[in-house]
């Protein structure tokens, strides 16, 4: 995570690439052997939170997840550790007329948020940057209400020799931290207190969703 907090050039290149679908799809294919059309389709579905719904976007990066939100949105909180990413996200929100989004700087390992504060959590391409992904998922579960939903994507090991070598390179230079496999995700989610877990891998990209267990779980 500290690598993203300090590395301005890396953050800007990543944000520019993922924000432009053609570049993002090309990068996903070349780097991770994944068809990123699904990722962009998923981003385009929720145009705005339902009435009274609270949504947490962590890490929000430069604001790609809210690129299709409609003006007048409320109840949406974007959180990131990187001041640079938060500035880019604020700029994107301002250009889109999204004045109701709240922005927070914070660490996913210790979210500055109350228990059960959100109905939905989005976590796109951040899990592999966290030193302890399982603990990060537990924090996301904590701030979700019972039956709240989590949706996300992550780079995972096991997608192929070339992808695994690239992951190791990114770990050495501090861009990635702990990177699990697609088989690790259900275990981490279950331990965090989620149920109805779904994980689907495409190359080295995993799509995951889960529900905060209603009662009787951590």
pTM exceeds 0.85 = yes
* CATH class of the domain at 2-212: alpha beta
Query: What pLDDT was estimated at residue 6?
Result: 52
In the chain (218 residues long), the average pLDDT of successive 10-residue segments reads: 57 81 94 95 75 93 88 92 93 93 96 96 96 97 97 97 96 94 98 97 98 77
- Annotated domain spans of the chain: 2-212
- C-beta of residue 47 within 8 angstroms of C-beta of residue 76: no
Query: If you write DSSP's letter for every residue of 132-175 in order, what string do you get?
Result: -HHHHHHHHHHHEEEEEEEEEEEE-BTS-HHHHHHHHHHHHTTS
Using the 8-state DSSP alphabet, how is residue 209 labeled? E
Nearest Cα neighbor of 153 from 194, 208, 116 is: 208
């Amino acid at each position: 995570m500290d690598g993203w907090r300090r590395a301005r050039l890396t953050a800007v290149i990543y944000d520019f690439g993922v924000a432009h679908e053609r570049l993002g799809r090309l990068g996903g294919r070349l780097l991770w052997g994944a068809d990123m059309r699904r990722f962009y389709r998923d981003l385009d579905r929720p145009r705005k939170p339902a009435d009274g719904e609270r949504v947490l976007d962590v890490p929000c990066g430069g604001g790609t997840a809210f690129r299709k939100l409609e003006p007048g949105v409320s109840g949406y909180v974007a959180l990131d550790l990187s001041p640079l990413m938060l500035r880019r996200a604020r700029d994107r929100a301002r250009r889109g007329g999204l004045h109701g989004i709240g922005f927070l700087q914070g660490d996913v390992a210790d979210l500055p948020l109350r228990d059960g504060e959100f109905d939905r959590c989005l976590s796109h391409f951040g899990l592999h940057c966290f030193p302890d992904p399982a603990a990060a998922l537990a924090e996301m579960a904590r701030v979700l209400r019972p039956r709240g939903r989590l949706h996300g994507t992550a780079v995972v090991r096991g997608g192929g020799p070339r992808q695994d070598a690239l992951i190791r390179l990114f770990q050495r230079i501090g861009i990635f931290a702990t990177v699990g496999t697609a088989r690790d995700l259900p275990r981490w989610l279950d331990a965090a207190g989620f149920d109805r877990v779904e994980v689907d891998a495409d190359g080295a990209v995993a799509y995951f969703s889960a529900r905060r267990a209603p009662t009787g779980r951590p």
